[in-house]
Amino acid sequence: MSSPDTAILPDAAAGNWVDRHAPPPLRPWLKLGRFDRPAGIWLLMLPGWQGIALAAAGKGQWPNPWLLIAFFVGAALMRAAGCAFNDIVDRDFDAQVSRTAMRPIPAGLISVRQAWGFVVGCCLVSLCILLTLGWLAVGLGVLSLGLVAAYPFMKRITWWPQAWLGLTFNWGALLGYAAATHTLAWPAVLLYASGIFWTLGYDTIYAVQDLEDDALAGVKSSARRLGEAAPRGVLAFYVACFALVVAAAWAGNLGPLFLPLAGLLALHLSRQAAALRLDDPAGALALFKSNTHAGFVLFLALVAGMWKPAGF
């Protein structure tokens, strides 16, 4: 039987780089920041990349590579800080759920005080990056902290914590657009709204893994609230996501090459909803992780929108 310091966590790939290559003393810290499960980094980063791409495509330009790098590093650090904060708040719940009981805090590998130090360190480095992006972006970054701080408590007070996660995880769409243009406009707002519905869909899929444990622990989720209607609910969320994405592209004056890749995104999302089964937690995890591909497809679609026929 694996000990807490050697156990591969249930939602991490068996061959993840942390368990295979990281020095043993660093593994609990990397797991605290979910670096053994990088899908969340991409899902936090991609709305920012999409906002940058949308702003650039509207001007017929390529996305700024410096901004893409800055958002990648910032997303990795802020996702790590958010996960650690979530684990601090949820440590008693996590100890009751089989999927989360071996996380570093409930397993006793990292103390709450040490975890707070980790959160502060990640936030300080992220702040240094944020300060290079312009004052509008700085203001938006500061406002996002309220969303991050409130999220762990949402599962206690609402059946729709996934909606709050959508508000939080997709804030980067506004931030990326603001960093690229130093303004906010309707295309960014529509892209942000589409991301909220995207997250509602994929995090409902993610919550299917914990249906039984969440019921025993009294944790609320959209998957529990929807019950047998969860696949239909996910499809409805994805339809709203796609409609808002198209509206954002139209408002942003993107070219017609956006449409073929947008169609591929629609196919990807609809297949997720069709494949969701409430009695298949492993399948739900795989569907959830596939949203990194969906997010990249949307990013590429927005980049492709920079090409416009003469007179378009």
Q: What domains are there in the chain, each with its CATH number?
A: 20-304 (1.10.357.140)
Extended strands (E) in 28-80: none
- Whole-number pLDDT of residue 231: 95
The chain-wide mean pLDDT, for the chain, equals 91
**Cα separation, 18 vs 156, whole angstroms:** 31
Q: Is the pLDDT of residue 270 over 80?
A: yes
Tokens at residue 296, please? 């990249």
DSSP string, 233-259: HHHHHHHHHHHHHHHHHHHTT--TTHH
pLDDT single digits (tens) 227-242: 999 999 999 999 999 9
- The answer to whether residues 302 and 53 touch, using CB atoms and an 8 Å cutoff, is yes
pLDDT digits over 112-128, tens only? Answer: 999 999 999 999 999 99
Structure confidence by residue, pLDDT tens digits, 133-144: 999 999 999 999
List pLDDT tens digits, range 6-29: 555 555 566 778 888 889 899 999
Residue 8: per-residue pLDDT: 59
C-beta separation of 158 from 164 below 8 A: yes
pLDDT at 311: 61
Q: Closest Cα partner for 121 from 189, 242, 33?
A: 33
Which pLDDT belongs to residue 12? 58
pLDDT: is 76 or 86 the higher one?
Answer: 76
- How confident is the model at residue 185, as a pLDDT? 97
Mean pLDDT (whole number) for 270-280: 95
CA dist., res. 254 & res. 14, Å (int): 41
pLDDT of the residue at 1: 41
Residue 97: pLDDT band with limits 50, 70, 90: confident
The pLDDT value given to residue 11 = 57
For residue 10, give the DSSP letter.
Answer: T
The predicted model gives 93-116 an average pLDDT of 85
Q: Are 55 and 43 in contact (CB under 8 A)?
A: no
**More confidently predicted of 252 and 37:** 252
**Is residue 162 over pLDDT 60?**
yes
What is the pLDDT, as a whole number, of residue 156? 82
Confidence band for 89, pLDDT divided at 50, 70 and 90:
confident
- Whole-structure pTM over 0.75, yes or no? yes
Structure tokens at 251: 């408002």
Cβ-contact 24, 268 below 8 angstroms: no
Cβ-contact 170, 198 below 8 angstroms = yes
